[in-house]
Structures are given as C-alpha cells and as structure tokens.
Amino acid sequence: MVVRVVDEVCRREGGKVLAGLIRRFGDIGLAEDLLQDAYARALERWPRDGLPDNPAGWLSTVARNRGLDILRRAARTLDDSAEVLARLEALPALEASEPLHEAGLEDDRLRLIFVCCHPALHPRAQSALALRTLCGLSTREIARAFCESEATTAQRLVRAKRKIIEAKIPFVIPTATDLPGRLAIVLQVIYLVFNEGYGATGGSRLVRTDLCREAIRLGRLMQHLMPGDAEVGGLLALMLLTHARSAARVSDLGELLTLEEQDRSRWDRGAIAEGLAVLDAALALRRPGPYQLQAAIAALHARAGRAADTDWPQIAALYRALQRYLPTPVVQMNAAVALGMAEGPRQGLGALKHMAAMETSHYLHAARAEFHRRLGELPEACAAYARAAQLAGNEVERAWLQARRANILSSLPAA
C-alpha cells in the first residue's frame, strides 16, 4: 500500500519537487539523489507514522534538509569550505528571489525546461534530460524512446548534468530578448512531455494524465509569456484537442480503444471548445507552422461526431503540408496512414513501404497489420501484429495487439 502511494506521489509530484530542489541547490545530480533518499525515508516512516497531509511537501522538506546537512558537512571537511559556505548563505536568498522576467510568474518546472533546453546542451541531451527530470522516466525508458542502448542514454544524461554545472547554466526564464531564440526547443520538449503522458512509453498505463495536464499547464505559461506567438497557441490547441480524447482511450477493463471504437460522448467537450478557440486565434495571426497544422488535424478528429464522419482526405492533405515543415519518419508514417484511410488500405500499404527508420517502431507494424486486415490478408496481418506486439513497450498496447492477432487466428481455418 505504502509503496503504491509513494510511487503515485513520485509520478504526480516528482517533477515539481525535483525542480524545486534543483533551484535550491543548483545541481541536478544532487537533487535527484536527495529526492531518492526522501523516497526511501518515506517507505520507512509512512507505514509507522501514517501518510502525511501533504506527501509532496513532506518529501520536499526531507530532501531539502538532507541537502543542507550534506553542504554543512562538506563545509567542515573540504578544502573548498569557503565556496560551500557561500552556497549555503545564498540558499535563503535564492528561495525568495528570482521573479520571472516581465511575466510576474513563479514556476520552477518552467525554469527547469529552459535549463534542459539551454543551447549549450546537445539537442538529444536536452530531450533526454527533460524526460528524466520532468517526466521521471527511467534511463531504460528514455533509451527505448530514442531507440538507443541504455548505456548510451546514461552517458548522455551524465554529460548533460556535468555541462550544466561547468557552464553555470542559470535556473531562470530567459529575458524577452532571448526568448524567441529558445522557443522552438522549449515547445518541442513540452510536446515531448505531453506525448509521454498521452501514450506512455512503458508501464501498465496507457495514459499518464498527470503528464498531459502538466504539459498543458506549461503550454499555458508559455502563452502567457509569448501571447502573440502563433506556434505557442498552436501547441496549446494541439494538446487540448488531443487530451480531450484521453478518457475514452481505455475501456473500463483497461483495454485500449481505437478512434473507431471510442465512445465520443466521453470526449471532453469543454477542452475541445477551448482548443478550437485557441487554434482559431493562432491561425488568425497568419504565421503558419507545424503545431498549428497538427492542431488542425486534431480539430478535424474532434469535430467528427462519428468515426465515419472523419474528413480523412483533408487530414491527408494537412499531413502532406506538415511534411514540408517536419520531414521526419514519424510524420511520413502518419501521412501514409492518413492516405490509406482516405484512399484505401492498398494505397496506405504502398506508402508504408521503405521506412527503414521506423522498423523498430511498433506503430509502423501495427499500421501495416490494420491495412492487411482491412484487405482480408489475414496471415500477413497476423505476422505484422506479432511483430508490433514484440516491439511495444507499453503493456496496454501490447495486450491490444496480441488480442487483435488472436482474434484473427481464431477466424482462420484449421491447417
């Protein structure tokens, strides 16, 4: 019971607690160690003392006090005690200072995004560090998301943390002058957080609502910082319109439901209305971009009262436009799926050929399986479903793929 509570607090509040510790101590590695120590103490004390009224606050206090003890001992024993004492003396001022530039906001996690997205860090390291600190993903989960070895990801994270210390990257929001140059990677990382929430890389849950809501909250903060930027509005609209479907994505039994299977009365109509209004405002600025295009695709799904009403030809056209902004394998694959839905499964299968960069993605094989199934090519569909299930890291997705394959096998004549 206590382990489950600590795990839930870690998922829901860990990013916020960690961001506060990083601001206080200026060291990501130390902050992570302090938080892990606080988790261990919670597992020891909460069964005996009971669950605190504010579990996240308890973890933050325990971790902060532990960090202060470490610094005080270092000040007494190390040759660089003067530097350590200076850090100790700076902590109270750091606690109450640093209002965000011009916006009047106070948000540690938004600051943390700008640390993770600092130009001194390698782009892949920026994303990995954000997944680690903001999403709480393990090194293994991040490695799976990047299709690389766990050792490579671990080295990338270590180098990024070291670079932050060596470059003295500040834990602040950039000035209004510097914000535009940092915007693209920040929006990318916020969307990365959202995507991990909407379709978890691993684990037993398909949707991590806490991450979706956190990404949307950060998107709202970015819109407050840059109200006239069309792509900021596009990203916020995209997340609102997509997250509106979350409650309908899983059945009461925990099974994945596709767009065709979802009960659309469970979609969040308030979020859809807000997302459409935000998108309209962004489009009115007449500065098109990839987030606005993706939001327009999400809007077409949101407006369809039934799956059969979905305007797939328009979605396919929007994906063709999106490919000019984002000529990535993922967008190419999604464009192929949209083409298949608009013009037929045979066209979709043809477009899904020659995607070597996506061969390790279960989404590619699942798409191929669906088109084969629609064409009545059941042995090919079974093989593709099997490969997709083998590659899927999320248990809910894997179970759906296996069930789909089993259903087809049961319909095939006995050999």
Asked if pLDDT for residue 89 goes beyond 60, the answer is no
Phi and psi angles of residue 175, each rounded to the nearest 5 degrees, phi first: -70, 165
pTM, entire model = 0.81
Q: What is the mean pLDDT of residues 365-375?
A: 97
Residue-level pLDDT at 15: 77
Amino acid making up residue 306: R
Asked if pLDDT for residue 96 goes beyond 70, the answer is no
Residue-level pLDDT at 98: 37
Q: What is the mean pLDDT of residues 258-279?
A: 97
Closest by CA to 74, choosing from 9, 129, 25, 28, is 25
Give the rounded percent of residues in the chain with a pLDDT score beyond 90: 51
- Alpha-carbon distance 204 to 393, whole Å? 9
Asked if pLDDT for residue 372 goes beyond 50, the answer is yes
Q: What is the mean pLDDT of residues 249-273?
A: 96
Residue-level pLDDT at 406: 96
Q: What is the mean pLDDT of residues 344-358?
A: 95
Mean pLDDT across the chain, nearest whole number?
A: 87
Q: What is the mean pLDDT of residues 123-139?
A: 85
Q: Lowest mean pLDDT: which of 28-32, 134-138, 239-243, 307-311?
A: 134-138
Asked if pLDDT for residue 99 goes beyond 50, the answer is no
Residue with the larger pLDDT of the pair 170 and 77: 170
Asked if pLDDT for residue 178 goes beyond 50, the answer is yes
Give me the residues paired with residue 383 across strands.
Answer: none
Identify the band that residue 248 occupies on the pLDDT scale cut at 50, 70 and 90.
Answer: very high
Residue-level pLDDT at 78: 55
| Residue 389 exposure: Cα atoms within 13 Å on the Cβ side | 16
The C-alpha angle with vertex 227 and arms to 223 and 230, in degrees rounded to 5, equals 85
Residue-level pLDDT at 306: 96
Contact 133, 14 (CB under 8 A): no
Identify the band that residue 378 occupies on the pLDDT scale cut at 50, 70 and 90.
Answer: very high
Token pair recorded at residue 31: 């902050």
Residue-level pLDDT at 34: 92
Quick: pLDDT tens for 380-411: 999 999 999 999 999 999 999 999 999 999 88
Residue-level pLDDT at 100: 34
Identify the band that residue 77 occupies on the pLDDT scale cut at 50, 70 and 90.
Answer: low
Three-class SS string for 154-184? Answer: HHHHHHHHHHHHHCCCCCCCCCCCCHHHHHH
Element (H, E) at 140: helix 139-146
Contact 142, 49 (CB under 8 A): no
Quick: pLDDT tens for 286-312: 999 999 999 999 999 999 999 999 999
Identify the band that residue 104 occupies on the pLDDT scale cut at 50, 70 and 90.
Answer: very low
Q: What is the mean pLDDT of residues 119-130?
A: 88
- Alpha-carbon distance 248 to 238, whole Å? 17
Q: Which range, 9-23, 89-103, 222-236, is most confident?
A: 222-236
Q: What is the mean pLDDT of residues 128-151?
A: 82
Token pair recorded at residue 379: 């042995």
Residues 6+ apart with CB under 8 A from 150: 139, 140, 143
Unique residue bearing structure tokens 């299968």: 349
